[in-house]
Structure 1
């Protein structure tokens, strides 16, 4: 146990004694002369310990900042400065690097926070990583990630999670909850004649309520990567990428199609009102004209609901988009050439493998979404928790059980809390029974 942590534990014990004495008076009793003297003595000891803790923390911070990093090759005093690699492979730290370094150290130490802090100090890691590991305390669910690292990794999800990438609004949850008012009916404005009463009208309001839902992602990391000592941006970039990809895929799966039952958030598919769920034209009698009218009809649903169209976009499975991309008109020209630029009918397209292509009775249907993403919100609890195991097993993409021990891997479990919802459900249109491209 580090000196700082030991002093904090000692101070907590003294504070508990002070509180016990204070409870006597709170309950209507009075302190004896001996107890009053004890109270004063405890107060002095607490103040002295607080001052010592501050000095020890400053000393640790200075020691971490001045530590000589360990080179992966030389392992000596000739190592490059912390956070960098000399030579032609020099790279800048990317978003999520601090979280990746903290994860790598904790995984190498099998969740032992004090050992990880010492590894950070000896390995020349940045001072914020060393300090974070020196002050966090492990809990039953794992180690709580400092908020600055958690914010960094959540922001790095934006280019990975297709729902975030399309422009949803991220808002903090206050004590795990967020209530956003929404307008459900507009003010009616009318013209009146002379000596006529002005009609009393007004807007009607409703609420969108978000509450923290717990999401967990399992990330297998090679022990060969964890064995690399010192700061290496390329290694940290791989770890950060694995973390964000796993979390991003989990978010897309739930923010698009989760039904909101039990502990799940409600995704776009189940937020969409029934009158905005449209059945796609059947493949048997499909024509380019019918396809174009149908896609335009999806857009019209939002336009007719007075939805601001500046932040709208499409979500679909890759199979559907590649089929649309291959369509040709009667002259052999591409029907939608803008798809090559990531657009469809003037709006950006997001691809997600989390939109199934095996829906329906025959297992060959998919869905298309047209959404005003500026109207959608992710409520986020900025606390992330990470846990580790080198013995647990997990299921791969094919559903096969994989032993981390046999694969020489360490499993990192990331637990996040968030929820998803739109301010106006009319901003979501879903096409179902989409069999387009099923033969591709």
Structure 2
């Protein structure tokens, strides 16, 4: 089980509107290749859609009595949010709900009214869209102590944060990174209730910043607690049930000592722990942290490369993770290689060449962590295949220099008469 730690995050953007866009799958010319599949389910007891191979799937909750009056091939007509006339065609009916298809793009709102031979029904619930700010290089972002998407004039992008007291320790000219380094900026002005951040790093077409995204302040000396009140509360449950506990944002030996003390107060059972190295300060203090942790019966280290890359700089990540591996090897401490390993594959796409090379480097650690995703099983199988090949060539830091198959394929040298 993992302790969340003191993580500074964005907050305060109000939710977006309750609008649902449904659109069929089209080719580059705009022709419909496949209609959108719509699952109609009773709003009193919504049921998940059965397995379906359609490219576009939307679920709508409508009154059960109205759904029971539908029949296959019935047209269901409605006007969408823009006032456009649209039509659903019922394909099949079951006790759990109905399948229908839509061949034109439509925008639905909670008050959308549907007509069919069975009568009319109104859509009641649609999830609100997630709000975001679109930030480009050169923009100014107001990082507020208090929630709010815009300033009083409504002209400047602004967002709040979860730990406003930390803004007292940020100075002019210091760097600020958002969302694992996707957006970066420099503090241009310090005000009593906000920081004005000039965006310097983002895609030219803009990068979206949402609520609950991480904020990194690598140049600022922040008095972050080793265990937050939420961590202290969670430890009581962890002590009862966990086989292992992760200490997030460990930055000094005292953090490890505090965790050990709290665990000893809560249980007599020895619980191994994982020290997650994800800040520049934690990396710099790692030798002292390791010496302190060695008093425990069992522990390991995680190279949490998401925050670590932002804190130390992406160009230094390879060097930093190499030093962590060497330190832990010298201390006989197992290492977890973590963050974005084969992420493109796990999330449903194809791995890049860089990701395959990165995954192969993970063979130098004792354990590799994969993130969740619809194709995570295939990612595990791919990682297993990579490791089985790499283990014949290298054991942790030592190259094996084994006999190569390609060397055996060289032609025999011709004999030269004396």
How does the TM-score come out when normalised to structure 2?
Answer: 0.22
Which has more strand, going by share of residues?
A: 2
How does the TM-score come out when normalised to structure 1?
Answer: 0.21
